Structure 1
Amino acid sequence: MVTESLLLRPWTIVIAVVLLAVAVVLGYATRRGPRTPSDVRWVANSSYLTELPSFRARMVQYRAGLAALVLVALTGGVAAGVLLARPVDRSTENSELATRDIVLCLDVSGSMIGYDVEIVDRFLQLVDSFDGERIALAIWNQTTRTVFPLTDDYTLVKEELTAARDALDFDVDSLDNGSYDPGKLDRLLKFITGTEGGSDTSTSLIGDGLVSCGLLFDEADTERSRSIILAGDNELIGTPIFTLTEAADFVTERQIGLVGIYSGASTATSSQEKKEFREVVTTHDGLYFEANDPAAVDAIIDRIQSQQAVDLDATPEVVITDRPAAALAVLACAFAVLLLVAWRLKE
């Protein structure tokens, strides 16, 4: 959304300035000239009064008051001209933004806990670049839990992502030596509740997690741009319902774009797991990144926006919002000061 501040009728300011100038000229031209002797009431022995310091001080104050009166009147006149010119904010809103749905799909298995904080930080960076898109967050391990459904309430989104980052900021290795913080462990366990299926022989069921994320999109009959940002290490243990390839087929058939973010420890099998993850994502016309790739955020945003531009051809909408507050405040202050100065001069 592009916003600019402008005046819809700027020529009214010129008219206001001209009228003020004419008023000043007329006032000067029609001022009373020097008084004649017949107009003056003479008082004997009073010539010394004009030399008194108090008289001179009052005359200085009087002239300063007159100057202030003129200045305030001019300021108020210009402010009135600005109001007549109608100050507004004009923004161009693209309705395409409201047709983008993005599901953040995060692996919270034990092998990923130490890396999820960095990925959630990436998610937060993405949110800062969005404007109108609906976003959801789902976390998965053996099963999937929806942290929040598709929403464009970015205050809620940022609060939930920040809470997720804080909960996932836990040193799993501290469990082995007993040095963990019980409070942090409770916060982590509470956050990942609902992702454990009760099996001790399976974890990180990435295919099932991806399919679950694909089912979070609503409004199936509406033409929308849909994307999943899948983050995990592909360290599959156990037998899932869907393999990663089958899950990618599932979301691709539903015209859901796929972005893969790989992260995880270097192990004896991680090279093969990373290769499979990358191949599945890229062969399904998706984007693949590693979590520490500094170009990931910009590339993901460009991909989502370019996909939307192809899918939907929406006409930008121009929104005009009146912003008279500043000029109105100046006019009100000028009027108040004008009354005060005029009252003081009358005294």
Structure 2
Amino acid sequence: MSIGNLSWRWPWLPVLALVLAMAFGLLAYRKARRGKPDQEPEARVWTLSSDLDTEEGHEALRRWRRLNRCAAILLSLALLMVLSLAARPARVDRTLEQGHNRDIVLCLDVSGSTLPYDRQVIASYLDLVRNFRGERMALSIFNSTSRTVFPLTDDYDMITAELSKARRILDGVQSQDRIDAMSGRQYQDISDWLEGTQNRRDTTSLIGDGLVGCAALLPQFAPKDHSGPAKADQRSSSLILATDNVVSGKPTYTLEEALKLTSAAGITVDGLYSGPDQGTGDESTRQMQRLIEASGGIFLRRQDGNSINALVRRIEHRHGADPRQQEQSSLVDAPGWWTLALALALSGYLLLAWRLKR
């Protein structure tokens, strides 16, 4: 049942209440009539007519009747408001919501050559979280094998908590002096956090394999010949790879092969160098930059002052400046004015009832 923009979710409830009230009233009336004697012999009657037959008495009686009628009206209004609230008045709430149809995977190299610098990369990830709203994010860490820290989610409180925890844990491995000063509990925390990333012997820092493991968190990614271009209705995806590209061992996928797989799946990969300052000019770093940029991504160094801001601007530009807008309609309870009217009517009735008792 609706009137204009206002509707009642349970319109049958006040009707049922009125029917029950009338039924109980009729039953009480018949019971009272049945129990009343037809005649009361020699009944003695007293009257106040003579006491009220004065000017002051007539005025007091008229005032009492006026207050009594007002109290009855206010009580009726209060009961009407109660029935209206019981029917759950509601309105249609139409809002224009903005949503980002995007998935972002943060892919972190935790091998020995990058571990002392990973805390700074984690801080960069926290900057990304502060800049994005509405996207789904995931974090995967890798060395010889990969581990998912958290899957794709838009729970930013959880994301911030996990990244803050990782930054705290990695605080003790930024230098040899801090490593030497670590307690047993700190060693255990780091070991627990890195568990699952070193499951292959005599092999570390498999960049291509780590990238494929991170890409596997995205719904449209499939290895080898099963991958294909992204469909128009799929969420756009980007992957941020933080590594120094120093490989130790024989990987299943090279970085170039992994980038071909992600490109075929429509996933954009951006690179963030996370290694010592003296390694920025190494061939491995230049190779990583060439491959990332050739696949359509951007390459940034951790030491650049505006790296994260530049990365955010490029990703925003790549996926469009304006987020998707969608009108959402929902039926929400609207008891506001009805509750206020009930409070006023009930307060007025109680005030008049107190006045009538005097």
Query: Is 1:144–1:194's contact at 8 Å kept on the other side of the alignment?
Result: yes
Give the corresponding residue for 1:15. Answer: none
Match of 2:348 among 324, 338, 344: 338
- Which has the higher mean CA deviation after the structures are superposed, 86-95 or 190-199? 86-95
Question: 2:325 aligned with 1:324, yes or no?
Answer: no
Larger Rg: 2
Unaligned runs of 5+ in 2: 7-52, 58-76, 222-229
1:95-134 map, 5 Å:
97=100, 99-134=101-136
Instruction: State how 1:1-347 maps to structure 2 within 5 Å.
Output: 40-41=55-56, 90-94=94-98, 97=100, 99-171=101-173, 173-174=175-176, 178-200=180-202, 202-219=203-220, 223-267=234-278, 269-272=279-282, 273-291=284-302, 293=304, 295-309=306-320, 316-320=326-330, 322=332, 324=334, 326-327=336-337, 330-346=340-356, 347=358
Deviation at 1:146, TM superposition (A): 1.6
The one-character-per-residue Cα deviations of 1:69-126 (angstroms, maximum 9, x if unpaired) are: xxxx9xxx9xx9xxxx97775432356x3x4222110111123223222322332343
Displacement of 1:174 in angstroms is 4.4
Amino acid at match of 1:192: L
Shift in Å at residue 228 of structure 1?
0.6
For the 8 Å contact 2:172–2:179, the answer to whether it is kept is no
Q: Which moved more, 1:241-250 or 1:257-266?
A: 241-250
1:211-257: CA deviation from partner (whole Å, max 9, x where unpaired): 22122222558633121111122233334333323322221122101
Per-residue CA deviations over 1:159-198 (Å, capped at 9, x if unaligned) read 3333333332322534787321211111111111111134
| Alpha-carbon shift at residue 322 of structure 1 (Å) | 3.2
Structure 1 vs Structure 2: percent identity of aligned residues? 32
Structure 1 counterpart of 2:96, which letter?
T
Query: CA contact under 8 A between 1:117 and 1:165: conserved in structure 2?
Result: yes
Q: Distance in 1 between matches of 2:119 and 2:314?
A: 23
Aligned length: 271
In structure 1, the gaps of 5 or more residues are: 1-7, 11-37, 43-72
What is the Cα-based RMSD across aligned positions, in Å? 3.9
Cα distance in 1, alignment partners of residues 178 and 132 from structure 2: 41
Structure 2 equivalent of residue 13 of structure 1? none
Q: Deviations over 1:128-179 (max 9, x none)?
A: 4444433221101121112222233444433333333333232253478732
Counterpart in the other structure of 1:48 = none
SS of 2:173's partner is: coil
Partner letter of residue 329 of structure 2?
Answer: V
SS of 1:105 mapped into structure 2: strand
Q: What's the CA shift for 1:315?
A: 6.7
1:207–1:245 CA contact under 8 A, matched in 2: yes
Of 244-253 and 163-172, deviating more is 163-172
Measured in 1, the distance between the counterparts of 2:119 and 2:179 equals 22
Give secondary structure in 2 for the equivalent of 1:316.
Answer: strand
C-alpha contact (below 8 Å) 1:230/1:261 kept by paired residues: yes
Q: Structure 1 pair 192/329, CA: closer, same or farther in 2 (3 Å)?
A: farther
Q: Is the 8 A contact 1:113 1:169 kept in 2?
A: no
Quick one: structure 1 residues 173 and 302, their matched pair in 2 at CA, closer, same or farther if it must change by over 3 Å? closer
